[in-house]
Structure 1
C-alpha cells in the first residue's frame, strides 16, 4: 500500500526559517518557505553576527558534521587579544572593556536581594574564540539545498485554519497551498505573531538607532587584532560607540572589508524622516558627522567607508519580563524575532533564533512532521531560554544605549489580515 503524501510545513523566511528548512530537509519532511524579498541578493547590507557556544551547538545539531564544517570554515575567528575598549577622542584604553548591568536577584518570596550582581557581556565561544559570520553568508549557507522549496516575493499578512491544516494569506489576497503547520519566522513585523498571540507578543521601539558600516581592512591598521569597543561620552545629547571585530587571518588582505556597528542613545542618530530602512550615502554622512572629532587612528574607519554598504537599524526589544503566554494553536507557532525581538546588546538575538530552529526541527523530525502537541512542547521550552535571553539583552542595553522600556514606550505596528 502506497504511503499517503503529507502536506508540507509552511514557514516564513528569515535566517531562523532557513535553518529550520535544513532540519526538515534532513528529516525528509516536505516544506515550503515564503520569503518577501525578491531574491537572496535583495538584502545585501547587514552587520556581522557573533555566535555563542549555544548558537553554534544548535547550528551543528541541524547541519550535521559535514554541513557544520562548511559553515565553520566561513566563520571568522578572533582570539588571544580578546575585548579591548578605547576612548574615541583620546585613543587611550578604557579600564572597563566589557559592558555590564546590575541584576538584582529575587528571593523565593519575590523580594529583591540587597546586593546586585553584575551581568557582563560574554564574547568568547568555542575554543575561547570570538566567532562571527555575516548575515549574508549565514543566509546563503542555510539556503543551500532548500532552493526549490522557496517562493520569493511572497509577503504573508495572516493565516486561515482549515479542517485539516492551515493556509498562509499573502499581501495580494491570494492563499498558499494547505500545510500541516505554519511557522511564523518573518521577523519584527510578523503578522503571524500578532494574529497568533492576539497582540500579546509586543515589540517596543526603544527610540535608539544604529548604523552599520564597512571599510577596507587597511582602514583598521590603527587598531589591530581583537574585538574593539570605541566609546565617545563627550556628546551633549548622548553617548556614541562602535564595536568592530578585526580577525587575524584577514587583516592583511586588502581585498577584504571589515564591518563596524555604531550604537547611540535615543535621539543621537536620527535617520531622515526616521526611516531606518534607508541605506547608502545618508547613513554614511551621519556616521562621519558623529565621528568627525574622533582620534586620528580611528578616522580611516569612516573616511574610507564603503558608502553603499552603510545602513541604519532600529533598536527594538520584546517585553523585558520575557516571552508571554498565549493560547496554544497546534497548527501555528513562531520562531526568532517574531517570538522574541532583542536589542543588539550581548549579541544574543541570532543565537536564540537558531536555538528555536534546532528545537522545533528536532521535535518535528521525531514525529516525522506535524503532530498534536508539537507546538506546545516547543513553546514551553522556548519560553524559558528566550525569556532569559531577552532579559539579559535588555539589561545590557540599558547600560550601553541608555534605554528604558515602560508603559509609555511605543510599540511597533504589527498587523494581520484574514
Structure 2
C-alpha cells in the first residue's frame, strides 16, 4: 500500500536534505521543516572527511550526473594517513613515535576526500527548495487514523503526511517522543572550537591531513588536540580558507557562560590563548583565524553499546544524529547519516512511497551498521581523551546547547 500524502521531514541537516533528494528523484512528495531562517543562519562547522561508504551512499542517491558535480566540489588530499606534528617544537614526528597511530584515510582515487558542511548542504538542497519550510521548529507529532502531522513550536500543525522522519540532530523532539527517552546522547565533557584561516597560514605544513597534540601546556591530564586538512590543489590560493578542529579534554575549553551558540570573537580569542605557546610553524593558523567563522561545540556520543531500541511506529522514524550521535573524529557521524538517508530513501522508492514495514526494515538494518560506527567513534574519543561513559556521565536534555553539528 502506498500513499500520495507527503513524507514529512523534520530538520534541514545533511541526512534530511539527502533523503529529500532521494524522494525528489523517486517522484515521492515531501516537505522539509527547518527551525533556522535560512541555510546561512548558523556557522556550518568543520570540514567533513567522506568515507568510501559515505561516498557510495551519496552517489546512490544523486545519480551519476549530479554525483559528478558533487565530487568535483570535494577537495582531494594526497597521503594515506595522518601526519603528526609536535605543536610545541614544530617537528614532524616519525612513524616510530608512540603518538603516531596508523589510520587509512583515503576513500577514492587514492585520495582523502572531504567537503565543507555548508557546501554539502547547499548541493543536497538543489531542486528541493520549493518544499523546504524555513523557521518551522518541529516539537513533536500527532498520529492520525491514516497518517501523521508534525507539531510546531507555535502550536500549529503540518498537513497530514504519510510518514514523519526526525532528522533534527541530537536534540530531536521527534526522537524523544518516538523512543520515549530511550535515545540518549551523552555529554563527554570535552569541548571544541572550529576555526578557519586563509590557506597561506598553512604554508609551513605542506599537503596532508595533520594532527597535533599538546599534552603539557595546560597541566597534568589536560590535552589540546588539533586536526586539519591541507589540500594540495588549494594550498597556494590565498582566496581559499582551510578549516581545523581544536579539541580540549574536559575542563580545558570554557565558552563564556557555557553558551555553545556563541560564534565569532570569543571562540577565536580562546583558540589563540590555548595555542599561545605553539611553534611558529603552526601558530599562523590562529594568528590569522577568521573570527566570524569561529564557533564552539560539545563532544557528544550515543551509547557505545548499540543503537537504542524502541517499539516500531510505522508512521514515524529517525535518522542521523537524532538516533546515533557521534564524536567528530573521522567524520563517522556524517558518513553514517548519509547512509541512513540512502537506505530509507531506497526503501521508500521501492515501496512507491510509504508502506507498512518500511520503517521497521530501515531501523533493523540501520541499527547494525550505525552501532558499529558509534562504538568506533566512542573508542577514538576514549583513547584520545581518556573519556569513559558510565553511570555518572550526563546526557543532553531536549534544550541543551550542543553547538553546530550536534
Shorter chain as denominator, the TM-score bin is over 0.9
Whether 1:326 and 2:317 are equivalent positions in the alignment is no
Whether 1:176 and 2:158 are equivalent positions in the alignment is yes
Deviation, 1:401, is: 2.7
Partner of 2:380: 396
Kindly report which structure 2 residues correspond to 1:275-314, keeping only aligned pairs within 5 A, or say none.
275-314=259-298
Partner of 2:185: 203
Deviation, 1:120, is: 6.2
Q: TM-score, normalised by structure 1?
A: 0.92
Compare 4-13 and 137-146 and name the one that shifted more. Answer: 4-13
Conserved 8 A contact 2:88-2:278 = yes
Kindly report which structure 2 residues correspond to 1:6-405, keeping only aligned pairs within 5 A, or say none.
6-12=4-10, 13-80=12-79, 82-95=81-94, 121-234=103-216, 235-236=218-219, 238-405=222-389
Q: Secondary structure at the match of 2:109?
A: helix
Distance 2:327 2:50 in 1: 15
List 4+ stretches of structure 1 deviating above 6 A.
Answer: 97-101
Partner of 1:413: 397
Report the CA distance shift for 1:61/1:242 in structure 2 as closer, same or farther (over 3 A): same
Q: TM-score, normalised by structure 2?
A: 0.94
Distance 2:345 2:37 in 1: 26
Distance 2:36 2:97 in 1: 36
Task: Identify unmatched segments of 5+ residues in structure 1.
Answer: 102-118
Partner of 1:110: none
Q: Secondary structure at the match of 2:93?
A: coil
More strand by share: 1
Deviation, 1:44, is: 3.3
Conserved 8 A contact 2:80-2:112 = no
Deviation, 1:95, is: 4.0
Once the two structures are superposed, residues 271-312 of structure 1 have per-residue CA deviations (whole angstroms, 9 ceiling, x without a partner) of 111111110000011100000000011111100111111000
Once the two structures are superposed, residues 336-378 of structure 1 have per-residue CA deviations (whole angstroms, 9 ceiling, x without a partner) of 0001000112320000000000000000000110000000000
Distance 1:333 1:83 in 2: 37
Q: Secondary structure at the match of 2:193?
A: strand
Deviation, 1:94, is: 2.7
Task: Identify unmatched segments of 5+ residues in structure 2.
Answer: 400-406
Deviation, 1:97, is: 9.0
Conserved 8 A contact 2:136-2:152 = yes
Conserved 8 A contact 1:121-1:396 = no
Report the CA distance shift for 1:41/1:73 in structure 2 as closer, same or farther (over 3 A): same
Q: Secondary structure at the match of 2:347?
A: helix
Give the paired residue count.
Answer: 395
Cα-Cα RMSD: 1.8
Report the CA distance shift for 1:364/1:81 in structure 2 as closer, same or farther (over 3 A): closer
Report the CA distance shift for 1:291/1:134 in structure 2 as closer, same or farther (over 3 A): same
Report the CA distance shift for 1:45/1:9 in structure 2 as closer, same or farther (over 3 A): closer
Distance 2:296 2:213 in 1: 19
Distance 1:80 1:204 in 2: 34
Deviation, 1:43, is: 2.1
